[in-house]
Structure 1
Amino acid sequence: MPEGHSVHRIARQFDRNIVGRRVAASSPQGRFVQGASMIDGRTATSVKAVAKQMFLEFDDDLWLRVHLGMYGAWDFAGEIVVDPTIASANGRMGQTNQRGTVVDDAVMDAAGENSLDSIGAPRRTRTRVRMSEQTSGLDDEGQPWPPPVVGQVRLRLLTEITCADLRGPTACVIQTPDEVAATIAKLGPDPLVDDLAEGEERVVSVIRRKPTPIGLLLMDQSVISGIGNVYRAELLFRARLNPHTPGRDVPEETVRDIWRDWVKLLAIGVETGQMMTMDGLDAAARRRAMARRADRHWVYHRAGLPCRVCGTEIVMEEAAGRKLYWCPSCQA
């Protein structure tokens, strides 16, 4: 499932490539025909991400709300202007092959997590293609335009030069401004949206009165926004906190440290496109981590492997239907 950094990256790409443009909307799959017809021909006027949801505004106060869920993704094609605020700190975002490559000194992993191929900055993208003035036929490189529909596309948003295809979302709905406000009101604070100090107080207040295990609370989007399975495991390890500890038993300062750590890690994720959760790496180790997920995390996806700190075997267990990774020694 895309975590908070991915959705913020997607929103920023929409801001660069869709906002301010008239959009032709359709539902090739046929499951969003009415919704697509409501925004077809309108101009996208703004976009924002909150938690794991993106809200794209159109004129006449219509909003498209998209929650990618477990399997959703945006695929872009055409001319794509990369938002420089989400380019890698050591280079620009770009495409990668399946073996991983280096582009302008930016290290891309084999899954394309730091590229326009990734789910966080939409995938399978043909970038910097200069389109002809026509809206159909071939582009300047002789490729079909608009691009052919491939697979089950819930929603296609098409400008004169850019195409965005949405596949497999959990939610894809049209909302009024009041409905958008109501949706956002149900979400916990997002470090990239809310005041940091106010967000910290909200998180502390909620967690410190809950009997629910902290490992479940961090995944509850009404408590804190954007944290998914990877960040949950890594934040708990970095706090050396047992995931089964009831929220009300977690020391207040520890809750504050987790919030502040999330502020830090989310910013890194948006900047690099990768869920980098290890600190104190030298230059060579950091490049390895940026290129290979297995070198990027403390405990996530390391079941049965020795803890990087104490050597104890990392445990994986089911928690509310999701895999939870933790060290029974460091997080005792």
Structure 2
Amino acid sequence: MPEGHMLHRLARLHQQRFAGNPVGVHSPQGRFAAAEELDGATFEHAEAHGKHLWHFYGDDRVVHVHLGLYGKFTESPVPLEQPRGKVRMRLVGPTHGTDLRGPAACEVLSPDEVENLRARLGPDPLREDADPEHAWERITRSRSTVAALLMDQTVLAGVGNAYRAEVLFRNSLPPRLPGRSLSRPQWEAVWGDLVRLMSGGVRTGRIDTVRSEHSPEATGRQPRRDRHGGEVYVYRRGGAPCLVCGTPVSTAELQGRNLYWCPSCQAD
């Protein structure tokens, strides 16, 4: 599932390519019934909150997209080729178009419905209006593990498995630490780290969390080869030596997702 930085990248891209223009909206697959009503409407702006993407139109209608596990946008210059596969929504602007396939959600909401959805989400480290205090209030009262809380989108919006694993490692926090045992300085360090790391992800389109002293160039090791890209400490590195201490990276399942950590660097 794409993490929050990718939704913010899409929002920026769609803002650049479509905002202020009438756009063509189609549903080649036929499962986005509102496409006919939106076709020719003016695309006002795009924004993201966590793993949710919104396209705002001038008539107070908002297209809400959640990519889920399989959703994907494919961007192309105009003129577009005939749709291939099951395209839920095709959006066509003056210079580019985008095809959306396989989303968990693609629906039209009113502005009030968008605000109701937003109210259920935790603060997004990539949004200027984010208030980390709301997340801290939830975390400091919780017996759940810090690892579980970081993935709870009602606590923090946009953090996925990779950023969860990496920010805990970078801050030497055991993943099973109860939220209420996290100190205020530790929380502030985690929040600041998420802002920095995820902002970098928006710029580059990849998740890079390794500090310069542990990079392939500094250590002479081979660069990471993984379909997700980016240099990371523990994510998807189960059994491999920790880049800092050499201890094999541990892995376990937590609430249906794989958890990665170094048992030495993140000791209880």
Q: Structure 2-normalised TM-score?
A: 0.92
Q: Deviations over 1:1-54 (max 9, x none)?
A: 11111111000000111111211111111211x221231110101111111111
Matches within 5 A, 1:1-332: 1-32=1-32, 34-78=33-77, 145-195=79-129, 199-281=131-213, 284-285=217-218, 292-293=225-226, 296-332=231-267
Question: Is the 2:53–2:64 Cα contact (8 Å) retained in structure 1?
Answer: yes
Alpha-carbon deviation of 1:194? 3.8
Alpha-carbon deviation of 1:233? 0.4
Q: Distance in 1 between matches of 2:140 and 2:235?
A: 25
Alpha-carbon deviation of 1:295? 6.7
Question: Is the 1:289–1:295 Cα contact (8 Å) retained in structure 2?
Answer: no
Change (3 A) 1:40 1:313: same
Question: Is the 2:14–2:46 Cα contact (8 Å) retained in structure 1?
Answer: yes
Change (3 A) 1:147 1:235: same
Alpha-carbon deviation of 1:201? 1.7
Alpha-carbon deviation of 1:217? 0.5
Q: Distance in 2 between matches of 1:267 and 1:161?
A: 27
Q: Distance in 2 between matches of 1:148 and 1:28?
A: 9
SS of equivalent to 1:47? strand
Question: Is the 2:77–2:97 Cα contact (8 Å) retained in structure 1?
Answer: yes
Q: Distance in 2 between matches of 1:273 and 1:69?
A: 18
Question: Is the 1:274–1:290 Cα contact (8 Å) retained in structure 2?
Answer: no
Q: Deviations over 1:233-291 (max 9, x none)?
A: 001111111111111111221111101100111111111111110112469459x9988
Counterpart residue type for residue 49 of structure 1: A
Question: Is the 2:23–2:41 Cα contact (8 Å) retained in structure 1?
Answer: yes
Counterpart residue type for residue 299 of structure 1: V
Question: Is the 2:61–2:111 Cα contact (8 Å) retained in structure 1?
Answer: yes
Change (3 A) 1:289 1:148: farther
Q: Structure 1-normalised TM-score?
A: 0.75
SS of equivalent to 2:22? coil
Alpha-carbon deviation of 1:208? 0.6
Aligned residues: 264
Q: Distance in 1 between matches of 2:192 and 2:222?
A: 23
RMSD: 2.1
Change (3 A) 1:230 1:180: same
Runs of 4+ in 1 over 2 A off after TM superposition: 280-286, 288-295
Counterpart residue type for residue 62 of structure 1: R
Q: Which structure has more RCO (C-alpha within 8 Å, separation ≥ 6)?
A: 1
Gaps of 5+ in 1: 80-144
Question: Is the 2:206–2:230 Cα contact (8 Å) retained in structure 1?
Answer: no
Question: Is the 1:289–1:296 Cα contact (8 Å) retained in structure 2?
Answer: no
Q: Deviations over 1:111-136 (max 9, x none)?
A: xxxxxxxxxxxxxxxxxxxxxxxxxx
Counterpart residue type for residue 261 of structure 1: D
Gaps of 5+ in 2: none
Q: Distance in 1 between matches of 2:218 and 2:236?
A: 19
Counterpart residue type for residue 92 of structure 2: L
Greater mean alpha carbon deviation, residues 271-280 or residues 56-65: 271-280
